[in-house]
Structure 1
Amino acid sequence: MSMYCLVWKYQVSSNQSKFEEEYGRNGSWFKFFESCEDYLGHDLMKSGDGKTYILVDKWMSKADYQDFLDENKAEYDQLNEKNKDLYDSEEEMGEFDLLQ
C-alpha cells in the first residue's frame, strides 16, 4: 500500500508565527481536512533561516484527495483566500507516493 503526498513550498518573510499557527498541526488547514477519513495528516517543516517552509499533505490516495476537494471547493477557496497574505510565495513541488 502506498500513501499519496502533496508537497508544497512556501516563502515567508514575515509573520512566521501566524503562518505556523494556520498551517501547523492544529491550524485551519488541518481542521478543514481532518473531517475526511482519508486524510492522514500533514507535516510542516521550516528551514534553518526560518523563511522557507515545506508542507507535506498525506492522503490515502489521489482520488480521495480530489474527491474531497471537489466536494469542498468553496470552503477550500475561502480558506486559501484568507491565508494567502501569510506567505510571499507558494509552489506545489509535486505529488508523490510514499512507499511502505
Structure 2
Amino acid sequence: MYIITWKYEIVPELRQEFEHEYGAQGSWAGLFSQSPAYLGSQLFKNDRESILYLLIDRWQSKAAYEEFLASHSQVYENMSGNFEKLYEQEEKMGAFTYVA
C-alpha cells in the first residue's frame, strides 16, 4: 500500500464545502475512483485547531498513483485550482510505502 498525506488549514466559513469535496464521497474521491488501484481517502479534523485537517489518500502502489496522475494531470490541475478557495494553506506532508 502507498499513502499520500496532506495537511490543510481551511477557510472556516467554507468548512462544510471543504469536508464534502475532500471527504470520502467528494470530488477527489470520485476522480480517484476511476482507478481500480485507488483504495480510498480518509479526512481527519484536528481536535485542538478546528481549521486544521489531515487527508490520507490510499493507493495499491506508488506506481499506480503516479500512473493515474500522469494520465489525469489536466483534470487534477483544474480541480486543484477550483478548490483552492476552500483553504488558506495546503501542505503535502509526505508519501509512504507500507512495510510489512
Band of TM-score, shorter chain: over 0.9
Q: How many residues align?
A: 98
- CA distances 1:41-84 after superposition (whole Å, capped 9, x unpaired): 01100012321000000001111000000001110011101101
Percent of paired sites with the same residue: 38
1:37 correspondence with 2:36? yes
* 1:81-100 equivalences in 2 (<5 Å): 81-100=81-100
Q: Which residue of 2 aligns with 1:13?
A: 11
For structure 2, list consecutive stretches of 5 or more residues without a partner in the other structure: none
For the 8 Å contact 2:62–2:97, the answer to whether it is kept is no
* Structure 1 unmatched ranges of 5 or more: none
For residue 6 of structure 1, report the CA deviation from its aligned partner: 0.3
**Residue number in structure 1 paired with 2:52:** 52
Q: CA RMSD in A?
A: 1.0
- Cα-to-partner distance string for 1:19-60 (whole Å, 9 max, x where unaligned): 001000110000000010000001100012321000000001
Measure, in 2, the Cα distance between the counterparts of 1:17 and 1:6: 23
The alignment's TM-score, normalised by the length of structure 1, stands at: 0.93
